[in-house]
Chain A
């Protein structure tokens, strides 16, 4: 049990991109300046590149993955015959909701950061060029 929790913790750290954080040292969160009002707004997802992240962005995504995994584990525990019924039901609900939330959050994030992450747009001379590079 302890071994497994250690394993999950390591997995969480690796998937959050901790090695990237240590080497590249990105800021915790990005910021842009609103062009009209001049106020500084935070930016959560690093725009434009595929292999880049801010620290908080990485940690929250890693957490989502682990929550989704734990959800599936809870679902399996809910089917164990030897537990009380109420515990089983609560496990089942928690499990299903975790998976759903984690999946929805991750796909939202992907749409924010990734679906246009590989496409760079240029407008010139009346053409719009979409050049793909990875």
Chain B
């Protein structure tokens, strides 16, 4: 085991002359048993074994890292939207597909009802139902809830496999493996696909990546089969999520980029045409999408590029027929001008006549982020729709943010059809992720893939540095000809140990960075993204976990103590949960399809009790539900959301004006609060009038209570919440409330949960006599 080193020490080669240690033979035997060589595998088979085992481990890792909340609490559905999805899946498995597809639900949006069959994306529900029926067929008696809870982690594991194949397509197998690992634990993806988060995105990201992979494969191979597969992948994506608009705009943009950079080819033609035509026809099968592919402004880019492709093909054919170059160029100019002219005229006519509808508010606010703030308060109010700060990027991506520009550089170095695609996907999705926090999810696969390219290329470079050292030394000793060569080789030899040590150090550095990434991801998953948000947790003084299960307590109280046809009014956040768990009719819920209805509820919450009572009688409301965090310090309660109620209500009913509720532009609930605020369902106290002589309001009506305040703080003034503070100290706002003596005229308190988080009031019938 003598190792030959060519070193310029004493100008002679030295052999390591250490005597062989007596334990050496035993060690080498052990090593040879453990090494793969003993299995008599060829190198290729060894590599395959390593790859398959890595992929299996990554598959399992992606699944188990999402199980924190199931292990901590129980297997339950999280958040708000998943409850609606769960309810519809339950309906699907109980009543069958025909009933599901034609379902009209009269239990939500009372008295309007909702056409559920025509206003949802069925992909998620059908997928979960298929898995449920499949398991039942195999005689596994699972409950549909377990299937729903574990759908998202299962599809996350599948996404890692697709990421591997995609990385292999774009760069090489090394990049594919790194991409699979990165996407398995990336917090940006985990946030919407933990166990229990039974939402469209869990399945949609899998469909998105699958569609992109199949399309890139179709462009690379030009085969009709892959084009067909990508069309079906697109169909699955359309059925799963409204974000399919991103695909139908990114792919035409990509095709356009290829055309501009002169990469038109028959493969591109076949792939795009097949995908567009077939995908469009399949997408029209979803009732919610309907004819939007030919009618909506958001889908026009795809159609425009489709016609452009035909023009390109036509020009190619004419070029083939004509042998005269000048004639062809003249013909080219005429054709292009004609085509562009006809296209713009058609677009103009379509938009002017109203056949082609303009961009809807949700998607237009992505292009012009200031639009939602001014025009559509309901979109602006959702916390997920806020623009992204750098800390959210760092939280969700960590070191991928460094690797992303490096990966872009590598892609630019080796441009091909596939790398152009991933660059475009990465850049557009990063821009949209900057506009809206929620869309970090869409950017995650692109960022993981590009970072994987950077990691793979860098580590390959470093390991090549390690390997060339020994190779160069051998060639240096055999090819001793030419003075220049030997001198340069000698110089290289001098720097070899330095380079080798440097490469080893850098490899350790890369390993350290990747391990920090893994630690960060696991910490983030455990602490931030595994909360079911229907169950709140806090830590007691001795580190024991305290659980607040108030929401479910309130919903089950509703389910068991109210008449079956009772109608519950609450803010739209809780609608899905009330319908799913409380099994009662609600006035507004998370679908937010009717802004006027929501504004009516918002108006009721911000009015005086008399006006609010009139609105409630007109809506036939029996119970009112509010969420209040003053006792626990829970800050996502209705008082913190109150200004949004005012804004949304004021958007439809100008009688509600936001400045009425603010003091010097500030939103306060203590003694210095605006009188309309104190009064609006909040505080009703004639004593308050006399104690604030600086208020110039002469109208006694302005001192009547505003409803939201009243309902939240009823009887709160008697409660001592914190040691050393006066009673009625609101722990979420950190102030003592302004009015503690609240009396309700038309409502009575029906139920308050054990930690005062959810409060339910019953609407009293009108007085018998005047």
Contact of B408 among A7, A20, A124 (CB under 8 A): A7
Number of B residues with CB within 8 Å of any CB on chain A: 63
Given that A7-B408, A20-B388, A53-B391 are contacting pairs, would A126 and B723 also be in contact in the complex, using a CB cutoff of 8 Å? yes
Given that A14-B434, A53-B391, A106-B394 are contacting pairs, would A125 and B723 also be in contact in the complex, using a CB cutoff of 8 Å? yes
> Of B205-213, B262-270, B301-309, B453-461, which stretch is located at the interface?
B453-461
Does B723 lie within 8 Å of A124, measured CB to CB? yes
Does B394 lie within 8 Å of A19, measured CB to CB? no
Does B392 lie within 8 Å of A51, measured CB to CB? yes
Does A129 lie within 8 Å of B546, measured CB to CB? yes
Given that A76-B461, A92-B502 are contacting pairs, would A114 and B394 also be in contact in the complex, using a CB cutoff of 8 Å? yes
Given that A52-B389, A124-B723, A131-B538 are contacting pairs, would A79 and B465 also be in contact in the complex, using a CB cutoff of 8 Å? yes
Quick one: which of B406, B430, B537, B541 has the most chain A CB within 10 A?
A: B406
> Of B226-234, B329-337, B395-403, B701-709, which stretch is located at the interface?
B395-403
Q: Is the interface of B mostly helix, strand, loop or mixed?
A: helix
Cα separation A76 to B738 with both chains bound (whole Å): 64
A residues 65-102 touching B (CB-CB < 8 Å): 65-66, 68-73, 75-76, 79, 85, 92, 96, 99-100, 102
Does A62 lie within 8 Å of B390, measured CB to CB? yes
Cα separation A70 to B369 with both chains bound (whole Å): 30
Does B405 lie within 8 Å of A73, measured CB to CB? yes
Does A131 lie within 8 Å of B458, measured CB to CB? no
Does A50 lie within 8 Å of B402, measured CB to CB? no
B residues in contact with A110, CB < 8 Å: 391, 394
Does A17 lie within 8 Å of B722, measured CB to CB? no
- Return the chain A residue nearest B436 by Cβ: A19
CB proximity of A9 to chain B, nearest CB, Å:
11
Does A122 lie within 8 Å of B731, measured CB to CB? yes
Does B405 lie within 8 Å of A69, measured CB to CB? yes
Q: Is the interface of A mostly helix, strand, loop or mixed?
A: helix
CB proximity of A6 to chain B, nearest CB, Å:
10
Contact of B390 among A7, A17, A85 (CB under 8 A): A17
Does B430 lie within 8 Å of A11, measured CB to CB? yes
A residues in contact with B509, CB < 8 Å: 96, 99-100
Question: How large, as a class, is the contact surface on chain A?
Answer: 35 or more
- Return the chain B residue nearest A59 by Cβ: B390
Cα separation A113 to B408 with both chains bound (whole Å): 29
- Return the chain B residue nearest A124 by Cβ: B722
A residues in contact with B393, CB < 8 Å: 15, 17
Given that A7-B427, A73-B405 are contacting pairs, would A18 and B391 also be in contact in the complex, using a CB cutoff of 8 Å? no
Q: In this assembly, does B727 line the interface, its C-beta being within 8 Å of a C-beta of chain A? A: no
Interface residues of B (CB under 8 A from A): 369-370, 373, 386-395, 399, 401-406, 408-410, 412, 423, 427, 430-431, 433-435, 437, 454, 457-458, 461, 465, 495, 502, 506, 509, 513, 516, 527-529, 531, 536-541, 546, 632-636, 721-723, 731
In the complex, besides A17-B388, A50-B391, A103-B513, 12 extra interface pairs with C-beta distance below 8 angstroms are: A16-B390, A19-B369, A20-B388, A51-B386, A57-B390, A61-B394, A99-B509, A107-B516, A113-B391, A125-B723, A129-B539, A132-B528
24 A-B pairs (CB sep. < 8 Å): A7-B423, A10-B431, A15-B434, A17-B387, A20-B386, A20-B434, A22-B369, A50-B391, A51-B386, A51-B388, A61-B394, A68-B402, A70-B405, A72-B403, A73-B405, A102-B402, A114-B391, A122-B722, A126-B541, A129-B538, A129-B546, A131-B537, A131-B632, A134-B529
